[in-house]
A and B are shown apart, each in its own frame.
Chain A
Amino acid sequence: MIVDFIKVSRFSDTKLKQFSINEASFSLNPQQHLAVLGKNEAGTSDLIKLLSGSIQPTSGKILRYDASSAHLGDASTFHRELTGEENIRFMCKLYGATAKHIIPEVASLTGLGKVLKKRVKSYAPPQRRKIALALPLFLDVKMYIIDDGFGGIGHPDAQFSERYSQLLKQKSQEKTLIIRSNNLPLLKSYTIAAVIVKDGGKVIFKDTLEKGLEESNDINN
């Protein structure tokens, strides 16, 4: 077990007492590849945040067993005035990884090389995104999170995308993977189980993606 939800509830609006998550109980195993489904945007987004640990539940308990996580494609911690390399070094320090080994790896995957020595503010958005996607793959974390809120794992550079998904396939085998996306091919190629967040915050766990998709389509009908 890596994360254990015990009757976890969370208000999306404290005053109106609206639940985004209502008494969710399920556990996440290591190396489980999980899809987060459902039209309830506040609910799915809060579920991801609760899983990664960036927010706390209003009631209930979340037990975490060394569940360090990284968002693929999240460039929000990048500082514009620092160079790409310095930003990578910061993330490495944050995750306790050695930047000396990781910078060349990121450079070779992204093909950015010398650009990494320039300040992030001079980057084109796809360049910044390449780093944000590539870097987490080399960090020593237990959980990868792919979120449409951060643009999934799409990238305009087709060659990079190809190399990237190959590496992700290989690296994610021994990690927990959580995907919140409406991109069906992506879900089908990675995820096995699914959780569905319904309106009102009810969370349902299904052990196959097909059952999950059925369940989530049921609400729409």
Chain B
Amino acid sequence: MAIDIDTARKVAKLARIRVEEGDLPALAEKLSGILGFMEQLNEVDVTGVEPMVSVTPMRLKRRPDVVTDGNIQAQVLKNAPDAREGFFAVPKVVE
């Protein structure tokens, strides 16, 4: 299925990646090429096949629901581009 410019704009928006209006046609073309390559999958008979969720047939391990660490606020915030008063700071979210 070919991706048109509107779809490319929508996908970029959903992915939260800014794409300039002028770059949308080239993006749409590249995405169409990649998705076209995937069309081959329609040749496969997948009737009755369950979608694979895990490569190994094993049950994920559970661990006790207990606190194992904490009190590391400074470490958690160490790499933040903007941290103030013990919090991550972001532009105003609520009007």
Q: Do A and B come from one complex?
A: no
